[in-house]
Amino acid sequence: MTASDDRRFMAEALRLSRQNTGLTGTNPSVGCVVVKDGEVVGKAVTAPGGRPHAETQALDMAGERSRGSTVYVTLEPCSHYGRTPPCANALVEAGVARVVVCLTDPDPRVSGRGLAILRDAGIAVESGLMEDEGRRAHAGYLMRQTKGRPHVTLKLAVSADGMLGRRGEEVAITGPEARAEVHRLRARSDAVLVGIGTVLSDDPELTVRIPGLENRSPIRIVLDRQLQLPLESKLVKTARDVPVIVVALPPSGAEAARGSAPSMKRERLIKAGAEIMDASDLDILLAVFAARGISSLLIEGGAVIAKAFLGAGLVDRILLFQGMGTVGEGGLESPLTPPDMPAGFALIRADNFGPDRCFDYERGF
């Protein structure tokens, strides 16, 4: 197998891994490709919900052709017993000859042990192929494992004159192609977050509304310190269909005791199907999200939310969509406009979506 063959098959494994990003719970969405005599004989991605794993599915597809094959996998095969036996052991039992791994697993239950099981069985093991691409594909899982918080992507739509819109007024900054890409971003995210200002101005639904992907809508989170979220908002009306978490300041004992307006609003929101979470610190909030299995968080809020997360150093990726039109005097100025970016970020690509541009910035690994 040549180096170019290895890259081609690993690229296919990475493509597979992205198919179920946002659907595999606390498990990573891993891609696996089994190759025998230059032909793909089995391939799979971690199933929705996290089970079964990619390796066992791909080996089952390959059957007897697994023996003597080369297996390409985007993350080190697991080595611990959970609800299923270790994938490293399954590869050994299948009689594969070589395993090429993109990334080692930072999970302390695995972290090199999976590779050791393979090597001890006489299997040729190589790791680190297309590592940067693998880190992007598994960014949420890696961030939750290494830093105890979700991977955070900040999305902003900016007009040609550097504005986000107008206060109290919904303004279309980008066209349908760019807006469709935002829906695809939601489909790949565990949760999407906005501030109460965005809700009061735009009354967004924050669901995925691309035909065939509607069931991939993420958890919707609103930072709403004073519980201003209207009961008649689209978010509240659909809370029983797609989860809504309202993050508020903790009530004082006196407020709860006297049945204050915030306490009554809290009860009404809960009765409507929303969950109330009390938090006053972003770091703690993200740690709680990670503990609940949220690995990827998409921020779609306005300038206030963007500045808060950027100021706290909690943004890992920035997607800056730039429309062709202008907002003019009285617009809400964006905290970011291309080509200026915060220190530590680098432009990794620029794409066109119809007439609009999207600049993709990434914090260094």
Using DSSP, state whether 140 is helix, strand or coil.
helix
Residue 210 contacts residue 180 (beta carbons within 8 Å)? yes
CA within 13 Å, CB half, 175: 10
The neighbouring-strand residues paired with 351 are 358
- Please report, as a single letter, which amino acid is at residue 142: L
Using DSSP, state whether 14 is helix, strand or coil.
helix
The neighbouring-strand residues paired with 35 are 40, 70
Q: Which residues contact 248 (CB under 8 A, 6 or more apart)?
A: 224, 225, 226, 227, 262, 266, 276, 277, 278
Residue 304 contacts residue 197 (beta carbons within 8 Å)? yes
Residue 204 contacts residue 301 (beta carbons within 8 Å)? no
* Marked catalytic residue, from 55, 76, 300, 362: 55
CA dist 282 and 176 (Å) reads 32
- Please report, as a single letter, which amino acid is at residue 6: D
Please confirm, yes or no, whether 170 is among the known catalytic residues. no
What's the longest Cα–Cα distance across the chain? 75
Query: Which residues are annotated as catalytic?
Result: 55
